[in-house]
Structures are given as structure tokens and as C-alpha cells.
Structure 1
Amino acid sequence: MTIIHLIRHGAHDLVSRRLCGRAGGVGIGEAGRRQAQAVSRTLPRPDRVLTSPLQRARETAAVIAAAHDRPLEEEAALNEIDFGDWTGQDFAQLDPLAEWRRWNAERDQARPPNGESMLEVQGRLARWLETLAKADAGTVAAVSHADVVKSVVALALGLSLRNHDRFEVAPGSVTTVSATPDALTLLRLNEVPHG
């Protein structure tokens, strides 16, 4: 059995204002550093520490890797959704758009313009989880992004991606799943360490 602690990166200064997506140069702020430190203190020692390629995830994961004396490994499957033309736009610009409203209502079908659907994200994560399960990878700390973690939760629970907004994945939170070649099980959701 493989245990995967899915960690949403720490908060950054644009977290509620802008759809950063895969835009470069977005690092965690002071609150995000405190969140990463809290996770590193409360997380059981992982065998591996993996991260999305994006700066905010790498900075969060680096704190965890250093605290547990583990090398940091980049994992493309953990990357944020590719939001295409919406990348870097303020939410105030997106809110009036019919395409944006459809995206938020129909995540099982909608796609950002020139971007990636959440169903495609879920597919890449399903393949990654299957690989980890077959390798019996032990305990993995995997730093990623809110919608990426939500896609794994939906996969584990058999939920439609339309239900993405029925649960929270907060900055600096830990969601834990177990993976075997036969099953993916949600163990804990959105635990926010206070360490």
C-alpha cells in the first residue's frame, strides 16, 4: 500500500485575486511559509517528497523536504491545471464571462479556452497514482494545487467533478489517500496543521 499526503501549496499574495494557473514567478508569501513549516512539523516522515514544477509548490515542498532530510523530486503529474487564455487574469475580469461560469458549473465537461479540462487533469493523476501503487512507494508527500487535489478526492469517492465546490482544499492543507493496485481510498480531507 502507498500512502499519499496531498499538500496544497502555501498561500501566496494573489491567492484570492488572480487565477495564477501556470504563470511563473508566483511564490508563497509569509503566511505560506508559516503554513509550510506547520505541515513539515506535523507530517509523518515521508519516504519521498514530490512537487509540482511551479514555484509556489516548490517553495512549500522545499520546506517539507528539508525538515525530513529528503531530496525534492519534481513530478509533472502534480502540475496545476493549464488555464490557457485565462492564466494570470484577475477573478474580477473572469466573473462576467459566460465561459468562466460554465467552467465552474460543469467541470466534468468544460475547458478553459486553449487550456486543459479538469477531466484531463484527473486522468493524468489517475495514471500517476496507479504507477505509485504498483511500485508500492511507501509514504509520499506530494505538493500540488487545490483543483489537482480535488480531482484526486473526486476520483477516490466516485464524485462527479461538478461537485468540486462541495468541499474545501485550503492553502497549506493535507489530504491523505491510500493507493493499491485495486483501490484508491480517501483517508483524510483538508487537514490544516496548527503546529
Structure 2
Amino acid sequence: MSATTIHFVRHGEVHNPDHLLYERLPGFHLSDRGRRMAEATGRYLAENPQTNTAVAVFSSPLERTRETAGIILDHLNEARAELVVADPNGRRLPPLKLATDDRLIEAGNEFRGRRIGHGSGALWRPENLKLIRNLYKPTWGESYRQIAARMSAFAHEKIDAYAGRQIIVVSHESPIWSFRHLLETGHPEHNMLLRHAALASVTSVTFDCDTHQVMSITYVDPAANVA
């Protein structure tokens, strides 16, 4: 039985001193801690024989995911060069390159640019809270069903394209969790406050190549202790 594993990585912490809901806004980069988080996850992926033979790395087009993916790439390519990581046939693996895919982007959100907290325009002001009527089915932007559909289309395309191999995908909390929730429960709707996809964490999904059925889902948080 041939299987394809997709390792979904959430980006590291973002530099956001004004506490804005940045969503898809440009100009939001990893913080210093976020880079350290990406380094920790990059080391984990490069040292783990279950992940260091990945044959492709994809990311959302946003800065924070591309920066996280770039750090991961550096670690994986260093492992390929120094440890001579080989494929199952013993052949040396070539350096990886980053590819972006719009289907991996953060969820659309009508509150983009608003502050999270107190002050003028803050998300939690009463006039805004009126719009947040249902945490399971958000009415303020892209639906969980839409998010999961584009993530699912990406995943099923790559299951066939990389049959029997592993790839690494750097995305965002909402897309990763919405897709996982769909796979585990049959529906993507969920309470956004109960997600389990920490910054720089890795959610690995293994699919049967013939049926595209899920064989296993695992989760690790390599950056949990990064200060």
C-alpha cells in the first residue's frame, strides 16, 4: 500500500506591536521569537527521518509563511548536504526549492486591520461583537467550508502528484485546523477558540494513494518551549 504524507506547518509568531488583526494584509513578518520558532521546527523536520526525505515544500504567499518555509528549507537542505540524506533507493536527494500556492492562504476576514483588544476600532467593541454571532459558522469573512474546500483540493492534487512520498506545507491556523476538522469529523465548522494548531506546529496527515482516505493524523509542537 502506497501512502503520501503532507506535513502542515503553521507559521511562527508575527511581529505585531499594534495588535492588529492582520489576516491577509501585507507587511507582517516573523518576529524575532517567530524566527526562533521556525528554526526549532526546521531542526525538528531536518533531524527526523520521517520528514527529512520530503521532496517538496509549499507555502502560502504571505510573508510570514514564506519566511517560515525559507528557514525550514535551509535546515532541510543543510541536512541533505551534510548528512547525505537519501531516498529509499539510496540516491542523494537534491536541494529543495520553495513553491507558493494561493489555496494555502489565510482565511478572508472583514475585520482585517482592526485592533484586537481595546481602543478605537477594536475588534471587541460592542458594535463589532454584534457581527460575531456564531463561532462555529463565521459571518465576518470566508466560511470554514470554503477554507476546507480549497485546502482539500490542494491536498488531493498533491497526493497524486507526490504518490508514496512526503511534502511540507506552511500555512495558517484556520486553514490547517479547518481541513483537519473536516477529515476527522466530516465537517469543517468548529469553535475557533478550541483549535489545536500552535505556532510553528506540525500536523501530519497520511493518505492512502489509491483511495485518498486518511490513514493517520499526528501532531507535534517543536517550538513549544521557544522563548
Q: TM-score, normalised by structure 1?
A: 0.87
Question: Structure 1 vs Structure 2: percent identity of aligned residues?
Answer: 25
* Structure 2 match to 1:95: 124
Distance in structure 2 (CA, Å) of the matches to 1:32 and 1:137: 32
1:26 to partner: Cα distance: 0.3
Matching of residues 1-195 of structure 1 within 5 Å: 1-14=3-16, 17-43=19-45, 44-45=51-52, 46-69=54-77, 70-83=96-109, 85-92=110-117, 93-96=122-125, 97-103=128-134, 105-107=135-137, 110-112=138-140, 115-135=141-161, 136=163, 138-158=165-185, 159-180=187-208, 181-193=211-223
Contact kept, 8 Å, 2:206 with 2:215, in 1: the verdict is yes
Are the structure 2 counterparts of residues 79 and 143 from structure 1 closer, same or farther at C-alpha, using a change threshold of 3 Å? Answer: same
1:125 maps to a residue whose letter is M
**4+ aligned runs moved over 6 Å, structure 1:** none
For residue 142 of structure 1, give the secondary structure of its aligned residue in structure 2.
Answer: strand
Matched residue count: 189
For residue 162 of structure 1, give the secondary structure of its aligned residue in structure 2.
Answer: coil
1:37 to partner: Cα distance: 0.8
Contact kept, 8 Å, 1:157 with 1:186, in 2: the verdict is no
Distance in structure 1 (CA, Å) of the matches to 2:160 and 2:34: 33
Distance in structure 2 (CA, Å) of the matches to 1:147 and 1:51: 14
The C-alpha deviation readout for 1:122-168, integer Å capped at 9, x for no partner, is 11111111111222162111111111111121012015512443332
Q: Which has the higher helix share?
A: 1
Contact kept, 8 Å, 1:4 with 1:177, in 2: the verdict is yes
Q: TM-score, normalised by structure 2?
A: 0.75
Larger radius of gyration: 2
Are the structure 2 counterparts of residues 50 and 16 from structure 1 closer, same or farther at C-alpha, using a change threshold of 3 Å? Answer: farther
For residue 68 of structure 1, give the secondary structure of its aligned residue in structure 2.
Answer: helix
The C-alpha deviation readout for 1:88-121, integer Å capped at 9, x for no partner, is 2112211232355225x233xx332xx4222101
**Structure 2 gaps, min length 5:** 46-50, 78-95
Distance in structure 2 (CA, Å) of the matches to 1:16 and 1:191: 27
1:174 to partner: Cα distance: 0.9
**Structure 1 gaps, min length 5:** none
Are the structure 2 counterparts of residues 99 and 77 from structure 1 closer, same or farther at C-alpha, using a change threshold of 3 Å? Answer: farther
